[in-house]
Structure 1
């Protein structure tokens, strides 16, 4: 089945831009990215759009479709009615480079600020051992394709530019939580999460979980457990007393 669909696509750069109207042919079984490629081939050859795998595994084609942050390659045209206008805009949280391409370098800066896995100094790489239950605890987080939809939708950075300096966002707080769950990691990730990466800014609205294309339960399985560990460390009197005794020893 073939039909003509109405599209509104944001065109412009960081200085000026707006929505442009297009009518594009849609074939049965296609996704939004297919239609965007047809639009490039037939009407707007200079349309800038970022994509790579077209299989929902690279996270490159992130955009906002009818106001919802999604992957264009995983959004089927069949979810829209034939008379519905499909609006495609760039990720709102990050600066626009051109058209649908945004500058997501903020995320790479935050990634570099997360200290790497740090095993005990006297433990040789060949001696690393983990129980299966420890592997399974953090395996979910390794499914992340770094589409940055969770970063885009998090209102702490989306609505407050001033927070970007002190808040790493759900993707990298999830990375810290993953490292803290490793039984051989020796760093105090709780202190880092709270004092250096802004864990306290998160108010667990679960918007990051709602847009994750890999269905990672970011809030329930990473952010809330990390918040609980931070609270135990800071406010639990027994934990506080234990830390004082250990330090004196």
Structure 2
């Protein structure tokens, strides 16, 4: 079954823009990205949109569809009624380059600020051995495709531009949690406590666990429950639990 859908697509650049109306053909089984491509081919040849795999694995086609951060290639037209207006806008949290393309360099800056995995001493690369039970907790986080939808929907930076300098966002706090759970990460041996660093250097305290990041994750990663809350708990334990504080003192003295 084919029908004519009413699309509203944001057109513009860093200087400003507007929503423009289009009537576009929709066929069975199509996704929003299909319609955007048809719009490019038939009515708006200069429409800028970023995409790559069209399989929900590259994270390139992130946008906001009817106000919700989504991957356009994974948003089926069947979730909308033929009478419904489908509004497509760029991710609001990041500066617009043109049309649906945004400048996501903020995320790469934050990625560079997260200390990398610290290999254990005396074990050469390729000789690491871990039991599956020890990596199960952090393995979930490796599914991240870096679509940055979680970063886009996080109100800490979405509604407060001034927080961007001190807040890494859920994607990179999850990266810190992953490293903190890694059975071979030897950060503590070089004086780096990852949970404390998350709090002091990457703004973990700004997160108030609304779970909006989890709700928009296309890989269904439980970012809040499995990464951010445990990271917060470890940061609080290390700072305020007297037994943990005493144990850290004893360990440092023995070292």
Q: Normalised by the shorter chain, which TM-score bucket?
A: over 0.9
- Which residue in the other structure is 2:230 paired with? 225
Match of 1:203 among 197, 205, 208: 208
1:51-200 matches, within 5 Å, as 51-187=51-187, 188-200=193-205
Post-superposition Cα deviations, 1:15-35, rounded to whole Å, max 9, x if no partner, equal 110100000011111000000
Q: Does 1:245 align with 2:250?
A: yes
Q: Does 1:38 align with 2:38?
A: yes
Structure 1 window deviating more from structure 2 (207-216 vs 238-247): it is: 238-247
Q: For structure 2, which runs of at least 5 residues remain unmatched after alignment?
A: 188-192
Output the aligned Cα RMSD. Answer: 0.9
Name the SS for the 2:30 alignment partner: coil
Name the SS for the 1:116 alignment partner: coil
Distance 1:41 1:195, change over 3 A: same
Q: For structure 1, which runs of at least 5 residues remain unmatched after alignment?
A: none
Contact 2:135–2:183 (8 Å) recurs in 1: no
Q: 1:126 Cα shift?
A: 4.1
Q: 1:124 Cα shift?
A: 2.1
TM-score, normalised to structure 1's length?
Answer: 0.98
Post-superposition Cα deviations, 1:146-189, rounded to whole Å, max 9, x if no partner, equal 00000000001101111111110000000110011111112121
* Structure 2: distance between partners of 1:44 and 1:51: 17
TM-score, normalised to structure 2's length?
Answer: 0.96
Aligned positions, number: 249
Q: 1:83 Cα shift?
A: 0.7
Q: 1:120 Cα shift?
A: 2.2
Q: Does 1:212 align with 2:241?
A: no
